[in-house]
Structure 1
């Protein structure tokens, strides 16, 4: 059976063109690889007809993607004055639910919905031959024209209140021009593919660097007992901290194995505790303290839970870094040495 939605759209297009309205039709399926750019076409319109066919359930993935892109990239100021008429034709159950989805989405976007065309069509020939149905469709098209021409206002809805008070996206504020440009990048498969390849190449490079450092470094046997190493207590620059009360710092001190000619400083930002643990290592001793600054040879950011897993020998600094549980900046060789000078278990 042919799609009844196409029949309705053709009928409405005829009416609008008789009223000297310019009509541009976009088949989302034909633009499926560039859906992110479609919201840019809204700036040329005074009104929009969103048409969906319900063959099983819902408005379909491509229509949902288009609405998602409108939320991300469309000019929200423009949307406030944009009228939308939903057209939903169903050959099965669910046309009312699909219409409601379109209406709610458009209201949440800030637009103005108008009464649409919603129907269950069992036999397309009978549907097309029914003059009363044709008049209803034509009337809806005329109502859209009048709503746009007269700038018809609508009463406030809870969807608008929710949008204003709750749905505040945590994204970078962009101008309409920047949003449009970003949508073009998102829809550019070549650009996205190149970005993925660049990320994979960088990841492979860092892994190779860490592997080469591991192969070149031969861990020395323990030549000194724990008593022979000068290990300082955990002290803050301004206020002493009880070593016994700080399990992480105490574990670092007890598990320290010095390396000849290796001196480094680490600043470990414990994000969930809002503290910065400093660790300074030399061939003679290890020193730990808390400070507000993050100045060090290597700066790491992680959580107390991750550090607890490390000191319990459930994982390592290197594994945490490769898994993304630890972020770091500084010399990679110095970072890798953490697992050499601190051996837990």
Structure 2
């Protein structure tokens, strides 16, 4: 029989959980069980690979200490790794005994969280140990507490050796009905390799650098493609210009996605049309590309664009309305 112990505490000397798992390991080894212990705080960067250690084990002990609130970050990371990278078929055959000792409030909730998480993963939870220990010395000197620990270890050994069945849990049924299947459909070997990559900080850093390089490359390509076309719309306005005798006005059109403004300077029969800037235009307009497209294709007038809110205008309204008289755009027939 093979049992792994995963300790999610900080490893401090007076941690009561350490005494409990040491005593359980001692009892299990007396029963000729092969026990391997993993201190998660010593394997911070390799927690994602620890689900690989679940291979060929018959049972595990998940042990942690509640020092403030919850089961702690290391244990949560390990459970997350089991969900992401663990072999669910293998986990379904593994018994788990939760051990949660508390120096504050929350040991029962912590034990329940571990049992619930293991059930959701598909595993088989055993009756565990939880308790509030204010002084570790009191735990070590109390023969009754030690006897409870020994009995729990023996019960775990008995459950595994006899392959005792567990009643189905509702959270497993709910998971089967509502859980979204993983579209990757990775094999256990591929999942194992993925967990190795995730835990390799050098590999992750190289991937980030490659992504940044590709992002910069595509950004430059888009920037080159998105450069302003200095001739766009100029020919259209020149072709549809119908001068009005004695009329003079300067128009500035700010088109979204254009870096420069479209300037229309009307001096009687002459029209100057270019992209640039004008200090004090008679009418300053702001519109989107779709709006200017509708106008030059005859689907909308400047006045209607203003009235509908598609175009914002500052300046003389009558001068703005004259645009529809000096630029006659006709809608193209299909």
For normalisation by structure 2, the TM-score amounts to 0.67
1:226/1:254 contact within 8 Å kept: no
Q: CA deviation at 1:167?
A: 2.0
Alignment match of 1:81 (pick from 76, 87, 93): 93
| CA distance in 2 between partners of 1:313 and 1:192 (Å) | 48
Equivalences for residues 1-345 of structure 1 within 5 A: 2-213=14-225, 218-220=230-232, 222-225=234-237, 253-254=293-294
CA RMSD of aligned residues (A): 2.8
Q: Name 1:263's counterpart in structure 2.
A: none
Q: CA deviation at 1:205?
A: 1.4
1:49/1:85 contact within 8 Å kept: yes
Q: CA deviation at 1:211?
A: 3.2
Deviations 1:57-81 (A, max 9, x none): 0001111111111111111111111
How many pairs were matched up? 244
| CA distance in 1 between partners of 2:121 and 2:295 (Å) | 57
Unpaired stretches in structure 1, ≥5 consecutive residues: 229-247, 258-310, 315-345
Deviations 1:93-120 (A, max 9, x none): 0000000100100000000000111110
Q: CA deviation at 1:226?
A: 9.5
Taking a change above 3 Å as real, the CA distance of residues 256 and 109 of structure 1, as seen in their structure-2 partners, is farther
User: Aligned with 1:11: secondary structure?
Assistant: helix
User: Aligned with 2:93: secondary structure?
Assistant: coil
User: Aligned with 1:81: secondary structure?
Assistant: coil
Query: Higher strand share goes to which structure?
Result: 2
Unpaired stretches in structure 2, ≥5 consecutive residues: 1-12, 241-287, 298-308, 313-334
Deviations 1:211-232 (A, max 9, x none): 345568544561223985xxxx
